[in-house]
Amino acid sequence: MEMLVASAIGILTGAGVYLVLRRRTLTVVVGLTLLSYGVNLFLFAMGRLTIDRPPVLTDGGAPYSDPLPQALVLTAIVISFGMTALVVVLALRGFLDTGTDDSAIREADMVRGFGPRHLGTEARKD
Amino acid sequence: MVNHWIIVPVVLPALTAVLLLFLPRESVVSRRVVSVASVLALAGISVALWGMAQQGPQAYAVGDWPAPFGIVVVLDRLSALMLLAASAIALAAVLYAIIGWDRRGAHFHTLFHFQLLGINGAFLTGDIFNLFVFFEVLLIASYGLVLHGGGAWRLKSGFQYAAVNLIASTIFLFAVGLLYGITGTLNMADLAVRVAALPAQDHALLRVGALLLFVVFAVKCALVPFHWWLPSAYSAGAAPATALFAVLTKVGAYAIIRMHTLVFAGDAAGISGTLQDLLVPAAAVTLVAGAIGVLGSRSMLQLASYSTVASMGTLLLAAAGLGAEQISAALYYLLHSCLIGAALFLLVDLVAAGRGRVADRLLPEAPVPQALMLGGLFFLCGMAMVGMPPLSGFVGKVAILDGLRGTDDAVLAWAVILGTGVLLLVGFVRAGSTVFWKAGSAVSRSDTARPAARRAGLVVAALVAGTAVLSALGGAVLEATDATAAELLDRELYIRAVAPAASSPES
Amino acid sequence: MYVPLVVLIPTLGAVLPALAGRQGRAGCAAVAATASLAALTVLLSVAPAVMRGEPVGFHVPWIPQIGLALSFFVDGLGLFFAALILIMGVLVIVYGRYYLAPSDPPGRFFASLLLFQGAMLGIVLSDNIILMLVFWELTSLSSFLLIGYWNHLAESRQGARMALAITGGGGLALFAGVLLLGGIAGTYELSEIIGRADAVQSSPLFGPALALILLGAFTKSAQFPFHFWLPHAMAAPTPVSAYLHSATMVKAGIFLLARLWPVFGETEAWFLTVAPIGLATMLVGAWIAIFKDDLKAVLAYSTVSHLGLITMLLGFGTKMAAVAAVLHILNHALFKAALFMSAGIVDHETGTRSMARLGGLRRAMPVTAALAVTAAAAMAGVPLLNGFVSKEMMLESASHAVYAGQAWLVPLLATLGALFSVAYSARLAGMVFFGEERHPVDAHPHDPPAGMWLPVAVLVVPAIVLGLWPALAQPLVEVVAAAVVGGDLPEFQLALWHGLTPALGMSVAALLGGVAILVVYSPIDRIRIALPRPEAKAIFDASVRGGAAASQALVRTLQNEDLTRYALVIMLATVALGVFGFLTGPHGAGTRAMLEPSLPAVVGWGVLAVACGIAVVRHRDRLLLLLVTAVAGLVVSLTFLHFSAPDLALTQISVEVVTTILLLLALNLLPKTTPRETGAPLRMAHAGLAGASGLGAGLLAFAVLTRDYVPISDYHLAQARPGGGGTNVVNVILVDFRGYDTFGEIIVLGIAALVIFALLELSAKARRAAGWAARAPSYRTGSAHPIMLVVTTRLLLPLVLTAGVYIFLRGHNLPGGGFIAGIVVGIAFIMQYVASGYAWADERFHFDPQRMIAAGVLLAGLTGVGSWAFGHPFLTSTHGHVHIPLIGDVELASVLLFDLGVFLVVVGTVLLALATIAAVESIGDRRPADDRPAAGERRPIPARPVRIEEEERV
C-alpha cells in the first residue's frame, strides 16, 4: 500500500513538473495544480497511512489516524485553491490583453508608466 | 501577564486592510489617512517591540495552547529588528504611494497592508508550517501589488513571478512535510530539540528537508540560480510596491538565518557545513551576476534590480559563515540594503517620469527635469550601493570584510566583494553620466516641478538620509546587531522561552 | 582640540556656496575663500607646537566595532600638506572667481571645490587609516564632480568617468590594503602602526598589504601604468586642474607613500617596486610631454613626470632621498600651479591652448610672460630657481641608487628624465612667449586683471626666493622630512652650491641635452610618430565599452524572459540539491509494518496513472487536459477518504468542482489547443527532469511511510474534547489549535478574490477581446440556458443552502465545517449563474462579495482579539453546549464565530472568482454594436511609446 501511495505521489509530481515546463500559461497552471495534488498527498502521507480510523473522537475509537497532517493538508488545499484561481485569471487576462497565452514576455510588452502621478486618466476611482 | 503587543504587528494590518475594504470607493482621502496612520502606528509599535526584545526572547502562545502543540509567535531581537526595517520601508513606500500611485488600480492600500501582515507574520512566527502560511499571504499580496497599474508587461511578468513562487511553495510543503514526517513536530524550538536528538539513520532525510527549505528561501532572496523572477518582476512592478519588495527579499535571508541558527544549528547532520559549502559560492556568483547585470543594464530599472541582486549576494556571502561577527555584519548590511533598495526604485520612478517616452532607458535623449536634485540623489544612491563612504554601504562592507577575516573563504569573499565594487562603480557612473549629464539638464518642466514631484523627492531623500544616519550612528547600530547575533547563537534562550519543557522524542 | 575644525570648516562650508549661488561668482568665491582662510587660521594656531616637534592630536570613537574613529593628528607632514592645500585653495578660489564665465553655475563649482578641500585635508590629517580611506574616496568623488563640471562636453564626461573609475577602483584596492594593514598591526591608528613596523614587516600578509596599498597610491598619483587618466582629467576648468591635478589630489598618493614610509620604506620589496615605477613614470610622462601641442596637456604630462620623480625618491628608501622628495613636493607645487594658472590666462586671453597657434605673447602680455617663463625655468631646474635645488638633490640620491646590481642604470635614466623635463619646459616657454607674435586673429590678448595674475605671482616669488636662498626652507623641510622618516635625519644643508659633485655634472648634462633635443626636434618627432604608440585612453574606453557590451549580451541571453527556462533551472537545481543532500547523509531503511494493498487502492492507482499519462501525452488538447486533471483530483480525494481523512476528501472534492468550473470558464475564452512548440530533444530533457522529480518525491514519501515517529498530535487527540470542545479533531485543530494558520489561510483566499476582481474589471479593449473570444464557434453555454437545468438549479438552491448550514454546524464534531459549507453554498449560487445566465443571477443576488470577504476576515479577527478582553492570547477559544432542534446537541464554541468568518470568506471568494469570469463571458453575448471590432482588426499590442490609457487600468 505504501508503495502505491508513494508512487502515486511520484506520478502526480512528475506529470506536474512536465506540464509546468510547457510554454503556454494554462498548461502551466494545470501543471501547478497537479503538483499541488502531489504535494498535498505527500503532506498527508507524512501522517502515515491508516484505514478506517478517522480522527473523529468516538468512545473506544482509538487509535486514530494522525489528525495534524490532515489539518495541514486542508490548509494547503485551500491556499492552493486561492493561488490557482488567481493564476488562472491572471493567465486569462494576460491572453485577453496581449492576444497570446505564451508565458514568455515579448519586448513589445515591456511597456509601463512611471511617476507618482500620471498624466492622463488618473481620476479613475478604485 | 501576556504581552499582547507581540501579535499586534499581525493583527493591526489585518484589521486595517479590512477596514479599508469597508470604506466607500470614492473616498480616496480617507483611505490614505487610514493607511498612513496604520503604518505610522506600526512603526511606533515596532520601536516599542525592539525595546521589549531587549529582555531576551519571549513567546506568545496563540490560542493559549502550550508549545509545541499550538502555534507560538516569538519576539526576539532578530524579529524585532526585521519588524523595524519592514515598517520603516513601508512608511516610505506608503508616503510615496499616496502621491498618486495608489489611485492607478484597485485596492492598493488593502493589498499593501495584507503584504505587511504577511511579512510581519513571517518574521514573528515560531512555527514552520505557519511560516509557510504567512509566506503565502505575503506572496499573494505581492502578486496583487506587482499587477498594480496594469498593462501587458505586469500581467506577463506577474504570471512568471507567481509561477516561480508557486513552485517554491510546493517545495516548501515538501520540506515541511518531510520534517514533520521524521521529527513529528512543527514548532521550531521543538524541531531544534528533536533534530539534535535524531538518530543517524534519519539524517539523510533531514538533510534533504533542510536543503529543500534552503531552496525555498534562496528563491525568496534571489540567490543564483533562483534569481530569475526578480529583475522581471521588479522592473514591471509599480514603484511603491517594488520599494516594499526591498523587504521581501530580506524575508528569505531572515528565514535562512533563523533556520540555521535555531533548527539546524550546531552542525546537526552536518547541515551547517553543507550550507556554507553551498551558500558561499552561490552568494559569490550572485554578487558577480548582479554586478554584471548592473554594468550591462539597458534601463535604470535593470540597474536597480541587479544592484538589488548584488546586495543580496553580499549579504548572504557575509551570513554564510553563521559566526557572530558575520551575522552581525550581514544584519547591518541588511538594514542598509533595505533602505537603499527602496530609495533607488522610487528614484528611478521619479526620473523616468520626467523623461517622457525615453522613460527609464539609458539613452541620452530626454533631459531630466530638476536634474540637480534628482541627479544629486542618484549620485548618493549610487555611492551607497557601490559602498562608497561615508554612507552606510561603506560601513557595511567594512564590517563584512572584517567579519570574514580569517575564515576559510576570506580570500574568495574579499576578492569578489572588492572586485565587483569596481564593476558596480563603473556601471553606476555610466548610467548616471548618460542620464544626468549627457542628456543635458533641462529647465524644470511644469508637470514635474509640481509639489507632487517635490514631495516624492523628499521621500527618496529621507531614505537616503536614513543610510547616512545608519552610518553616522554605525556604532550604536552595530551594537544592536552584535547583540542580536549573540542572542541567535545562544539558541537555548529561544528554546527555553518557547517551550520551557520542550517535548523530546522520548516523552 | 581644534584640529577637526580644519577639516570640518571646508567640508560643512561647502553648503554655503551652494546657498550663495544666487549671489553670483563674487559671492560664492567670497564665502569659499572665507571658509578656507578660517580653516587656515585654525591650522596655523597649532603650527608652532608642531614646528617644535610636538604633534597635535584629537580622538573620538565613531564605530569602534570596525575600528573607525574620528582621530586626527597634525605632525610636520600633515601640517605641510594641509597648509599647501589651504593656501593653494585660497589662491585657486580667487583665480577661479575671475576665470569662471558668467554662464557657469558658480554655486556648484565652489561647493564641490570646498568639499574636495575638506576631503583632502581629511586625508592628510587623519590618524585613523579607515577614516583616511573615507576621505580618500571622497576626493575621488568630488574630483569626479569637478572634472565633469562642464557636463555638456563629451571629454569632460569621459575624463570624469575615467578618473573616478581608476582612482575609485584603486581606492577599493587601498580599502583592502588598509584593512589588511590594520589587521596585522592590530590597530588602525597611524601613529601606533608606525611604531609596529617590525610586526608588519614580519607578517605573512605583508606582501599583499603592501601591493594593495601601493595600487591605491599609484592610481591616485597617476603612476605608470595608471598615468593615463590624469591628462584627460584636464578637461576640467583650469583652476581645478591647477588645484586637484597638480598641487593636491594627485599628491595624495605621494602623501600616502610618505606617511607609510616608516612602515615600508626601508624594506627591499618597497625599493624594488616603488623606485622603478616612479622612474618609469618620470621618463614616460616627460617624454610624452615633449611632443604635446596642448598647453595643459604638456603641463599634465610634466605633472605625471614630476610625481614619478617624487615617487622614485621615496622609493629609494634612503633618508636623504626622502628629504629631497619633501623639498620637491614643495617646489613642484609652487611652479606647477603657477604654470597652470598662466596657461589658463593664455587660454582665457587668446581662446586657444594650442601651442602651434601661439607665439611671442611676451609683447602682448609681459607680466604673464615673465611669471610663466620664470616658473617654466624653475620646472626645468635652471639654477637660481627652486627647481634646481631639489633636482640636484634628486640626481644626488639617484647617483647612489644601485638597481639590479647595475650602478649606472638609475643615474643614467634619472639624468635622462631631467633632460626631457628641460626640453619640454624650454619648448613650452619658447613657443608661447617668444618668436614672432602669433594668436587667433579675433583674440586681443593682454594682461588680465590683477585678480588673475596676482595668485601666479604669489607662487612665483617664493620659487625665486627659495632658488636663491634654499636654506630658508631648511627648518620646514627638516620638520616635515623628520615626520616622513619617523626618526632623526642625517645632517644636511639646503644650499645652492655643493661643489663639483656628480649631481652637478648630471644637471649640466640635462640642461645641454634638453636644448639639444629641441634642435633635432622635428626628426625625432617624425620617428616617434612612425613608431606604434599605445593610446591608453582608447584601450581603457574599449575595455569598458567591451565589458558593458559583453555583460549586456550575457544578461540578455540568460535573462531571456522565458518562464520555461527559469522553471527548468530552478527545478533542476532543486532535484540536484535533494539528491546531494540525501547521498551525503547516513540513511537507514524504515522498519514500520506496511499495509496490504487493497483492491480499490490498486484500481485508483491505475486510474491516476492513466489520467496523468494522458495529461502528459495529450496536454495540447486542453479540454481533455482539464478532464483528466479533474479525474486525478477525484482519485486524490478518494485516497483521502480511503485513508481515514473524510474532511480532506470533502474539501478536496468541493475544491475540485470549483477549480474545474473555473478552468472551464477560462478555457472558453482561451485557445482550445496548444501548438507543439518544444522540439523532441528538449521534451525528452523535460521528461527526464519530470521523471527525476517524481522519483525523488516518491522515494522520499516511501522512506517516511516506512519508518516510525513520535508526533505531537497525540496531544491534540487528547485535548480536542476537553480543551477544544469538539470531537472532529481535524476541525478543532483548524479552528482552535492552529486557528492562526486558518486565519492566514482565509486572508490568502480573500486576497486572491480581490486580485481576481481587480483583474477582471476589464478595460474596453480587453472587453472587446473577451467578447471576441467568447464568440469562438466551440462556445455555447452562457447564451443558451436549457430549461431543465434552470429549473433544477433554482429548486436546488434552498436545499443546498440548508445543507450548507448543516455541514457548517456539525463541522466541529463531524466532518464538515465552515470551509466546506462555504464551498457548497458558493457552488449553489454559481449554478444559478451558469444555468440561468449572468444577467438573471446578477439581478437577483444583491450582495457585494468583497464586503462579504471583508466581513469574514473581520469576524475571524475580532473573535481572536476578543479573547484579549479576558486576558487570554489572540484566538483563545471558549465553548459550551446548546441544543438545536433537528440538528441536535451542538458544541457551540466561540470558534463557531471564527468558523463563520471562514464560511463568509469562502462564499465570497467563490462567488467573486466565478461570477466575475461569468461576467466577462456574458459580455460576449450582449456586446453593444458600437463595441464591435472592425473586420479583420487584430488585437492591438501595446508598443512603445508608453500608452498611458492602458496603464491606468488594472
SS (H, E, C) C323-341: HHHHHHHHHHHHHHHHHHH
Report the pLDDT averaged over residues C454-477. Answer: 92
User: CA dihedral defined by C689, C695, C700, C703, rounded to 10 degrees?
Assistant: -160
Contacts of A97 in chain B (CB under 8 A): 151-152, 155
Tens-digit pLDDT profile for residues C828-837: 887 777 777 7
More confident residue, C657 or C847: C657
Share of chain B above pLDDT 90, in %: 81
Checking DSSP bridges between strand C879-884 and strand C888-893, what pairing results, if any?
A: antiparallel
φ, ψ of residue C189 to 5 degrees: the values are -85, 120
Per-residue pLDDT at B150 exceeds 60: yes
Question: What number is the average pLDDT over the span C72-88?
Answer: 93
Strand, helix or coil for residue C271:
helix
Confidence band (pLDDT; 50, 70, 90) for B301? very high
pLDDT band of B443, cuts 50, 70, 90: very low
- Alpha helix stretches (DSSP H) within C775-894: 787-810, 818-844, 849-869
Q: Is the CB of residue C165 less than 8 Å away from at least one CB of chain B?
A: yes
Q: In this model, does residue C590 exceed pLDDT 80?
A: yes
Task: Select from A39, A76, A118 the Cβ nearest to the Cβ of B104.
Answer: A118
Give the tens place of pLDDT for each residue, B206-259: 999 999 999 999 999 999 999 999 999 999 999 999 999 999 999 999 999 999
Shortest Cα distance from A32 to chain C (angstroms)? 11
B139 vs B445, higher pLDDT: B139
Bond prior to C106 in cis (omega within 30° of 0): no
The single residue listed with the C-alpha cell 602623501 is C255
Task: Return the C-alpha cell found at C355.
Answer: 601651442
How far apart are the C-alpha atoms of B182 and B176, rounded to whole Å?
10
Chain C residue numbers touching B440 (CB-CB < 8 A): 151-152
Of B60, B278, B422, the CB nearest to C169: B422
Question: How sure is the predictor about A61, in pLDDT bands with cuts at 50, 70 and 90?
Answer: confident
In this predicted structure, the answer to whether residue B265 has a pLDDT above a threshold of 60 is yes
pLDDT tops 90 at residue C813: no
**Long-range Cβ contact pairs of C846-852 (< 8 A, separation 24 or more):** C849/C753, C849/C757, C849/C907, C849/C908, C849/C909, C849/C911, C849/C912, C849/C915, C850/B21, C850/C753, C850/C754, C850/C757, C850/C908, C850/C912, C851/B21, C851/B22, C851/C908, C852/C904, C852/C905, C852/C907, C852/C908, C852/C911
Nearest chain C residue to B413, by CA: C176
Q: Which residue of C has its CA nearest to B359?
A: C946
C548–B430: do the CB atoms touch at under 8 Å? Answer: yes
C21 touches chain B (CB under 8 A): no
Residues comprising chain C, all counted: 954
What value does the mean pLDDT take over residues B373-386? 93
In this complex, do A114 and B352 lie within 8 Å of one another by their Cβ atoms?
Answer: yes
Closest to C19 measured CA to CA, from C27, C7, C9: C27
Residue B404: pLDDT band by 50, 70, 90 thresholds? very high
pLDDT at C241: 87
pLDDT digits (tens, 9 = 90+) for C690-701: 999 999 999 999
Range name among C390-394, C684-688, C757-761 with the lowest pLDDT average = C757-761
Q: What is the mean pLDDT of residues B390-419?
A: 93
C626–A contact, CB cutoff 8 A: yes
| Residue B453, amino acid | A
Nearest residue of chain C to residue A84 (CA atoms): C659
pLDDT for residue C19: 81
The nearest CA of chain C is from the CA of B92 a distance in Å of 23
Give the model's pLDDT for residue C786.
67
**Chain C positions in Cβ-Cβ contact with residue A43 (cut-off 8 Å):** none
- Interchain proximity A72–B129, CB inside 8 Å: yes
Chains contacting B with at least 3 CB pairs below 8 Å? A, C
Confidence check: pLDDT of C519 > 90: no
Give me the percent of chain C exceeding a pLDDT of 70.
92
Interchain CB contacts (distance < 8 Å): A and C: 363
Whether residue C145 is predicted with pLDDT greater than 80 in this model: the reply is yes
Confirm if C510 and C422 have CB atoms less than 8 A apart.
yes
For the segment C775-790, what is each residue's pLDDT rounded down to a tens digit? 443 434 444 566 777 7
Alpha-carbon distance B317 to nearest alpha carbon in chain C (angstroms): 17
- Mean pLDDT for the stretch of residues C105-117: 91
- pLDDT at B446 (0 to 100): 42
Instruction: Assign C806 a pLDDT band (cuts: 50, 70, 90).
Output: confident
Neighbouring-strand partners of residue C555: none
Q: What is the mean pLDDT of chain B?
A: 92
For residue C953, the chain A residues in CB contact (below 8 A) are: 124
pLDDT number for residue B282? 96
> How many Å separate Cα C186 from the centre of its chain?
30
Residues of chain B numbered 198-217 and touching chain A (CB < 8 Å): none
Higher-confidence residue of B49 and B373: namely B49
Q: What does the alpha-carbon distance between residue C725 and residue A57 come to, in Å, rounded to a whole number? A: 11
pLDDT bin (cut points 50, 70, 90) of residue C24 is confident
Q: Report the C-alpha gap between B279 and B170 in whole angstroms.
A: 22
Which chain A residue has the Cα nearest residue B162? A87
pLDDT of residue C770: 59
A15 shares contact with chain C (CB less than 8 Å): yes
- Out of B64, B144, B398, the one facing C872 most closely (by C-beta) is B64
Measured between CA atoms, the residue of chain C closest to residue B159 is C563
The whole-number pLDDT of residue C441 equals 83
The predicted model gives A31-43 an average pLDDT of 97
pLDDT band, residue C890 (cuts 50/70/90): low
State the pLDDT confidence band at C17, using cuts at 50, 70 and 90: confident
Inter-chain touch C562–A104, beta carbons under 8 Å: yes
Given a cut of 70, is residue B503 above it in pLDDT?
no
- Residue C443 scores a pLDDT above 90: no
Tell me the C-alpha to C-alpha distance, in Å, between residue B112 and each of A82, B95, C383, C945.
18, 12, 78, 29
Please compute the mean of the pLDDT values over residues A69-73 and round it to a whole number.
96
Question: What average pLDDT does range C191-220 have in this prediction?
Answer: 93
Q: How far is B340 from chain A (nearest CA, A)?
A: 19
Arithmetic mean of pLDDT over chain C: 87
Quick: pLDDT tens for C717-740.
999 988 888 889 999 999 899 999
- Using pLDDT thresholds of 50, 70 and 90, give the confidence band for residue C939: very low
Say whether pLDDT at A27 is over 80: yes
C-chain residues near B180 (CB < 8 A): 711
Place of cell 451542538: C890
C283: cell is 621618463
Please tell me the predicted confidence (pLDDT) of residue C946: 34
Over residues C366-422, the pLDDT tens digits come to 999 999 999 999 999 998 999 999 998 999 899 888 887 888 889 999 999 999 999
- A-proximal residues of C, 531-590, CB under 8 Å: 560-564, 567-568, 571
* pLDDT beyond 60 at C930: no
Give the 3-state DSSP-derived string for chain A, with helices as H, strands as E and coil as C. CHHHHHHHHHHHHHHHHHHHCCCEHHHHHHHHHHHHHHHHHHHHHCCCCCCCCCCECCCCCCCCCCHHHHHHHHHHHHHHHHHHHHHHHHHHHHHHHHCCCECCCCHHHCCCCCCCCCCCCCCCCC
Whether the pLDDT of residue C158 is over 50: the answer is yes
Mean pLDDT (whole number) for B380-407: 93
pLDDT of residue C783: 47
Residue C676: what pLDDT? 84
Alpha-carbon torsion, ordered C149, C151, C156, C158, to 10 deg? 130
Write the pLDDT tens digit of every residue in B93-138.
Answer: 999 999 988 888 888 999 999 999 999 999 999 999 999 999 999 9
CB contact (8 A) between residue B136 and residue A98: no
Render C81-116 in DSSP notation, one character per residue.
Answer: HHHHHHHHHHHHHHHHHHHS-TTS-HHHHHHHHHHH
How confident is the model at residue C882, as a pLDDT?
A: 61
| Mean pLDDT (whole number) for B147-166 | 93
C477 touches chain A (CB under 8 A): no
Q: What is the mean predicted confidence (pLDDT) over C172-194?
A: 93
pLDDT exceeds cutoff 50 at B506? no
From the list C451, C492, C440, the residue with the least C-alpha distance to C471 is C492
Q: What's the confidence (pLDDT) of residue C763?
A: 57
Residue-level pLDDT at B447? 44
Residue C143: is its pLDDT beyond 80? yes
Chain B residues touching A40 at Cβ < 8 A: 173
pLDDT at C950 over 70: no
In this model, does residue C604 exceed pLDDT 90? yes
Report cis status (omega within 30 of 0) of the bond before C10: no
